[in-house]
């Protein structure tokens, strides 16, 4: 049987190690209460640290989706408002053509009607160049500031689409991407079949008293109204899709924040109880060490 001799130095060193360990546990609980976090460094829990990093990455992605959704809502709302205003103006232009088709209209009245049609055409052309963050919403992916020419360049007729074909989209969810633009030709037609060409022909027919020209303009304007209405319906569907994505993203952010709190944040009542236990344990260890190391050499010599 092996016998170990316990010396005073061994006893003192063992007591110091135990006191240091108890003090370390007390300091750890105090740090958690001070910071309000269980994870203050990766070494506290490598597994939980990895989970927290993944949750934070998901939160960052969800926040980006929320920002994309805000941008998409702004663009789609502007397009919807613009199309609504243009619908009203096209209807007014059609009414003017109907008035011009009235046989009782004299040259002066037809000229006044044609002038108003021209003004509506300019207003619609300006609306077709509506911009969001300095980019035309009907210009595709153009880097320019206009989707349609305004006639300032004599070489290019007014109402010519100068956008760049392409799709502008925003990712508003993990697997949800929404298109947030409408190319001008999709809404207003192109070339001689465009809304602006129709209005120009309508003005010419009204001022010239051309019944066939006015009938053709009325038919084409009705078709343009249908196309604009269909475009508004498409925009409305996209807005609804974005709204659903916003709700889903908000729910995901709330769930991820709750999970992150469970992993990182301290349970305050539990930590307070643990702090009291560690304080009592440390005080007890101090008392026991004081009693164990109290005898000295002089005590043995007496």
DSSP string, the chain: ----PPPHHHHHHHHHHHHHHHHHHHHHHHHHHHHTBS-SSGGG-HHHHHHHHHHHHHHHHHHHHHHHHHHHHHHHHHHHHHHHHHHHHHHHHHHHHHHHHSTT--HHHHHHHHHHHHHHHHHHHHHHT-EETTEETTSBT-SSS-SB--S-STTS-TT-B--B----EEEEETTEEEE----HHHHH--GGGSHHHHHHHHHHHHHHT-HHHHHHHHHHHHHHHHHHHHHHHHHHHHHHHHHHHHHHHHHHHHHHHHHHHHHHB--HHHHHHHHHHHHHHHHHHHHHHHHHT---HHHHH-
Q: Which residue has the higher pLDDT, 123 or 282?
A: 123
In this prediction, residues 265-281 reach a mean pLDDT of 73
pLDDT in tens, 153-192: 777 888 889 999 999 999 999 889 999 999 999 999 988 8
pLDDT digits (tens, 9 = 90+) for 54-71: 999 999 999 999 999 999
Return the domain boundaries, the chain. Answer: 12-38+265-301, 63-254
Which single residue is written with the structure tokens 């926040």? Answer: 63
User: CATH assignment of 63-254?
Assistant: 1.20.1330.10
What's the mean per-residue pLDDT of the chain? 85
214: pLDDT confidence band, cut at 50, 70 and 90? very high
Global pTM reads 0.79
In the predicted structure, residue 104 carries a pLDDT above the cut 70:
no
Q: Quick one: pLDDT band at residue 41, thresholds 50, 70, 90?
A: confident
pLDDT reported for residue 302: 55
Task: Tell me the percentage of the chain whose pLDDT exceeds 70.
Answer: 87
Q: What is the mean pLDDT of residues 94-123?
A: 88
Give the confidence band of 300 by pLDDT, cuts at 50, 70, 90.
low
Check residue 158 and give its pLDDT: 84
56/50 Cα distance (integer angstroms): 10
């Amino acid at each position: 049987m092996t016998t170990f001799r316990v010396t005073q130095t061994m006893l003192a060193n063992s007591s110091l190690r135990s006191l240091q360990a108890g003090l370390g546990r007390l300091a750890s609980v105090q740090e958690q209460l001070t910071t309000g976090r269980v994870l203050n460094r990766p070494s506290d829990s490598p597994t939980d640290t990895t989970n927290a990093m993944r949750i934070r990455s998901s939160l960052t992605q969800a926040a980006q989706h929320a920002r994309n959704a805000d941008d998409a809502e702004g663009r789609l709302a502007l397009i919807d408002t613009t199309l609504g205003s243009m619908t009203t103006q096209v209807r007014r232009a059609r009414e003017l053509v109907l008035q011009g088709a009235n046989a009782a209209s004299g040259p002066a009245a037809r000229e006044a009607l044609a002038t108003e049609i021209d003004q509506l055409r300019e207003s619609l052309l300006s609306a077709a160049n509506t911009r969001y963050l300095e980019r035309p919403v009907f210009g595709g992916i153009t880097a320019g500031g206009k989707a349609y020419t305004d006639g300032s360049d004599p070489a290019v007729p007014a109402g010519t689409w100068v956008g760049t074909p392409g799709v502008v989209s925003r990712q508003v969810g993990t697997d949800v991407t929404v298109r947030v633009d409408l190319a001008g030709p999709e809404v207003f037609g192109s070339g001689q079949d465009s809304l602006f060409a129709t209005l120009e022909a309508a003005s010419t027919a009204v001022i010239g008293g051309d019944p066939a020209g006015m009938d053709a303009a009325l038919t084409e304007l009705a078709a343009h109204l249908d196309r604009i209405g269909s475009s508004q319906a498409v925009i409305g569907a996209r807005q609804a899709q974005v709204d659903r994505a916003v709700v889903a993203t908000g729910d995901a952010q709330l769930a991820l924040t709750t999970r992150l709190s469970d992993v990182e944040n301290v349970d305050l009542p539990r930590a307070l109880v643990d702090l009291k236990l560690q304080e009592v344990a440390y005080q007890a260890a101090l008392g026991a060490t004081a009693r164990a190391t109290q005898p000295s050499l002089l005590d043995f010599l007496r």
